[in-house]
Amino acid sequence: MHSRFAIYWRNQGMFLQHRLCFYSSNHPKQSPTYNEVNILMIDRNFQKVLFDCQKYDYQKASFEILQEFCRLGIDITSSRHYKNPLYFSIPDLSGSNVKEHLDSVAKELSHPYMKLLESFGSPPELPKIWESSSGWTKYRGDKTYSVEAPLEDALIFDTEVLVKEGHVPTMAVALTSDGWYSWTSKRLSVYDDNCLNDINAFNSLIPIYGSKNKDISKCVIGHFVSYDRARILEEYLLDVCTFT
């Protein structure tokens, strides 16, 4: 088994070396460039694409650096015999360099959620009385409504867990542009032995989507997000893919 893995990794290394040294027919060849410690650098045109700069000359390593490499048994003074600098083909960038490309991709991916955040205005008035019935309750003015899940697509969310009882959520609160919401676990009103004291017990998790609106994007803002999202039902469902 060990030798099979060794062969696999050696073959993968040869493949990567071949890919890194690949030149497209449209790419002009250039002399290799080495840094201060005689390490071959990437193609300078490729450097321009990645970092929006081109550097050809590097200062020689200091005597102290040479001594340290010598102590480690590394000879950085010997000549290298690479024919070409490292280069491989990459897709066209959206911008003049990698930073602009990543900024562009980030803006494209975050645009639907930024639009949702723009729907927030002044927060609605805080409810004077909170309901204790299980599930979601919406508060709008003096009226309350029992709902499957928050109706709006952008919300601020927080949950609380009674850790001595387990890791499932006990209660939660949410704020949207149209009202406040509270969620209460049914275990606060009805003790159910079948409601497992486990984070994977679906009946104890908090739904963010209703049964009829699972195909739309939602933006949920939290404080300790990695902790809170583990208590959300849709995090464990494969058919909901637009939740962030």
Tokens of 95: 């911008």
Please tell me whether the overall predicted TM-score, pTM, comes out greater than 0.75 for this model.
no
Residue 57: its pLDDT value, please? 80
As a whole number of angstroms, the distance between CA 187 and CA 193 comes to 10
Output the six-digit token pair for 138.
Answer: 């919406």
Residue 189 CA to residue 191 CA, distance in Å, equals 7
Buried b (16+ CB within 10 A) or exposed e, 124-152: eeebeeebeebbbbbbeeeebeeeebbbb
Per-residue pLDDT of the chain (244 residues; tens, 9 = 90+): 333 333 333 333 333 343 334 444 455 666 778 888 888 888 887 787 777 777 878 888 788 888 888 888 888 777 766 666 666 677 778 887 788 888 999 999 999 889 888 888 888 899 999 998 999 999 998 899 999 999 999 999 999 998 888 888 999 999 999 999 999 998 886 655 555 444 447 788 999 998 877 778 889 999 888 999 999 998 888 765 455 5
Which amino acid, one-letter code, is at 80? R
pLDDT reported for residue 150: 94
Query: What is the per-residue pLDDT across 5-25, written as a single tens digit (0 to 9) for each?
Result: 333 333 333 333 433 344 444
pLDDT at 180: 96
User: Tokens 């009946």 map to which residue?
Assistant: 203
Cα(155)–Cα(172) distance, rounded to whole angstroms?
Answer: 12
CA distance 20 to 6: 21
- Give percent of the chain with pLDDT exceeding 90: 30
Q: How many other CB atoms are there within 10 angstroms of residue 120's CB atom?
A: 16
Residue pair 176/150 in contact (Cβ under 8 Å)? The answer is: yes
Residue 158's identity, in one-letter code, is D
Active site residues: 158
